[in-house]
């Protein structure tokens, strides 16, 4: 039996882990942030795949039978290859889940107008993962997309609540909403973006729903474990969390508090 692994390029996945723990507190979790190589958002397919696979392998080696990629960029660029090509070779009984599918499974139930906007990193947008996945569940829904490359650096530098962030929050919201006046649902398709929620709401016209992924992914994981008792039986239930970073643990702990909303157990350094 082992913990659930939760991976992100950096800190963003903590916004997802927080909701997963709230929904499923009994399990043990290992969080791994590849902070030394973050952000992934502007990197190419091969790089993101290689980095993500290395981190997944690491979490498997630490005893996790199940890993959640709490990163849209990794889910968009690496998940399918890992599930289809790598897993059968490296750990056929283990599983890796992403954050895009759970989000796309429900977005069509929220929109009334049938037009949604996706805000994400360059990597996620260029992968077309959101339009492709949404079309499978809700073929009638029209998807508008926009890359918001300045939002992750704002958050990573703890500038998200300062005045300087207003310019880029307003700029990207204006841009996506200018694609269609019918957009009534905006998906924050990057696990860093919920930290900008206050400012996003401030600049959004009324009547537009903003979806953050944490709770959606947590519900979906709960459902997955119900449907897969064989995996559930392999998960340890000590209610413990441990944190690993490929960069400096002191910096990670300071930043993690911002993302998590409270201090997390002291992180440890991990060399890949």
Residues that bind ligand DGL in the complex, under the rule CB under 6 A:
8-10, 12, 38-41, 71-73, 121, 124, 152, 190-192
71 is catalytic: yes
Instruction: Provide, rounded to whole angstroms, the least separation between the CB of residue 179 and ligand DGL.
Output: 21
| Closest CB 207 distance from ligand DGL, rounded Å | 26
Closest CB to ligand DGL among 121 and 246? 121
Q: Is 55 a catalytic residue?
A: no
Give the C-alpha separation, 205 to 37, whole Å: 36
Q: Please identify which of the residues 55, 64, 148, 190 carries the catalytic annotation.
A: 190
Q: Indicate the residue whose CB is closest to ligand DGL.
A: 41
Phi, psi of 12 (to 5 degrees): -55, -35
Q: Determine whether 112 is exposed, middle or buried from the number of CB atoms within 10 Å of its CB (0-12, 13-18, 19+).
A: exposed
For residue 33, list its beta bridge partners: 8, 245
How far is the CA of 266 from the CAs of 71, 223, 252, in angstroms?
22, 30, 9
Instruction: State phi, psi for 129 to the nearest 5 degrees.
Output: -60, -40
Helix (H, G, I), strand (E, B) or coil at 97: strand
| Beta bridge partner(s), residue 173 | none
Active-site residue, from 55, 64, 71, 148:
71
CB of 42 to ligand DGL, least distance (A): 7
Q: Residue 11 or 27: which CB sits closer to ligand DGL?
A: 11
Of the two residues 118 and 183, which places its CB atom closer to ligand DGL in the complex? Answer: 118
**Burial readout 153-176 (b: 16 or more C-beta within 10 A, e: otherwise):** ebbbeeebeeeebeebbeebbeeb
Quote the least distance from Cβ 80 to ligand DGL, whole Å.
Answer: 16
Catalytic residue numbers read: 71, 190
């Amino acid at each position: 039996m082992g913990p659930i692994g939760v991976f992100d390029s950096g800190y963003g996945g903590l916004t997802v882990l927080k909701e997963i723990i709230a929904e499923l507190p009994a399990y043990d979790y290992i969080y791994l942030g590849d902070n030394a190589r973050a952000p992934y958002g502007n990197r190419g397919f091969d790089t993101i795949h290689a980095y993500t696979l290395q981190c997944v392998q690491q979490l498997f080696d630490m005893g996790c039978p199940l890993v959640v990629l709490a990163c849209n960029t990794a889910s968009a660029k690496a998940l399918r290859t890992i599930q289809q090509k790598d897993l059968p070779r490296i750990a056929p009984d283990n599983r890796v889940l992403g954050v895009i599918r759970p989000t796309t499974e429900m977005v069509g139930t929220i929109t009334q107008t049938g037009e949604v906007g996706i805000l994400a990193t360059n990597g996620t947008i260029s992968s077309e993962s959101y339009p492709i996945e949404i079309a499978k569940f809700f073929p009638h829904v029209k998807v508008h997309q926009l890359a918001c490359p300045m939002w992750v650096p704002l958050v990573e530098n703890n500038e998200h609540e300062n005045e300087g962030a207003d310019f880029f929050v307003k700029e990207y919201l204006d841009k996506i909403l200018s694609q269609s006046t019918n957009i009534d649902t905006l998906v924050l398709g990057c696990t860093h973006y919920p930290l900008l929620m206050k400012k996003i709401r401030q600049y959004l016209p009324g009547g537009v729903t903003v979806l953050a992924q944490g709770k959606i992914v947590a519900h979906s994981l709960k459902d997955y474990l119900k449907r897969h008792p064989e995996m559930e039986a392999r998960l340890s239930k000590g209610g413990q969390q441990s944190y690993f970073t490929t960069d400096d643990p002191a910096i990670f702990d300071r930043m993690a508090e911002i993302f998590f909303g409270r201090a997390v157990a002291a992180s440890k350094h991990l060399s890949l």
